[in-house]
Homo-oligomer: A and B are copies of this chain.
Amino acid sequence: MSKLLQIGFLVFPGMTQLDMTGPLQVFSSVPGARVHLIWKRIEPLASDSILTIIPTITLADCPQLDVICVPGGYGTDDLMADDEVLNFLRKQAEHTHYLTAVCTGSLVLAAAGLLHGYRAATHWSAVDALSIFAGVTVSRERVCVDRNRITGGGITAGIDLGLTVVAKLTDRTTAQAVQLRMEYNPAPPFNAGSPETAPVEVVALLNEQTSKARIRRIELAKQAATRAHG
């Protein structure tokens, strides 16, 4: 592996910003890493929050990456049917060292056919959608490592994923130094971070709030799975 590490995040309209900004903070602290934010055009993109994301390089100009990361968010609904994006990922995947995704970013890798024969994680509310893709074994691990495919659970899992990738790219000490710099010794005030531990009324609330979006995502995943595997 070259000394200069080329690390790229796909960015897109409707992305969940922390899916990207979490691992971005991790990768940005790695000595010798060059990080790119990649989209079709260099234009400001609206994320899921008030934060606007400005890409730094286009799909066309992007060099071969050592690590690709696809974040999630409702914008992945459209990406599952976006041939320009899917072809970019397929092309990069031929020579990349690690093909990674956070949250519903896994659906985009699956739509590109890149998770066929692999285990993969996703946001807990997208497990049903990811299961639709033939050949993908859905994992409920927070960070799922299967050969060079490394996928994470929802949103905040991107930080754990980032540290896992850094340890593989460099060494344990470098990854630990990044963790210490970020003072990453988390202490959530509640134990509600997964549907297995959250109070039932909280899970019910989220299921209600997201039900329409989930139905739409499942429909789009079915279409994408048919295109990917016929």
Q: Point out residues on A near B: beta carbons under 8 Å.
A: 16-18, 21-22, 24-25, 28, 35-37, 44, 48-54, 56, 103, 123-124, 142-143, 153-157, 159-160, 163-164, 167, 172-173, 175-177, 179-195, 197-199, 201-203, 205-206, 209
Contacts and interface: CB of A to CB of B under 8 A. Distances in A.
Contacts of A167: 189-190
A24 B51 contact: yes
Contact of A155 (B143, B183, B195): B183
A208 to B, nearest CB: 10
A176 B160 contact: no
A186 B186 contact: yes
A22 to B, nearest CB: 7
A56 B52 CA distance: 9
Nearest to A156: B184
Contact of A25 (B49, B185, B198): B49
Most buried by B among A52, A180, A193: A180
Contact of A197 (B185, B192, B197): B185
B194 A177 contact: no
Most buried by B among A123, A177, A181, A202: A181
The 6 A-B pairs at the shortest CB distance, nearest first, are namely A154-B183, A185-B193, A176-B192, A28-B49, A21-B21, A18-B25
Most buried by B among A56, A154, A163, A193: A193
Nearest to A122: B183
A69 to B, nearest CB: 13
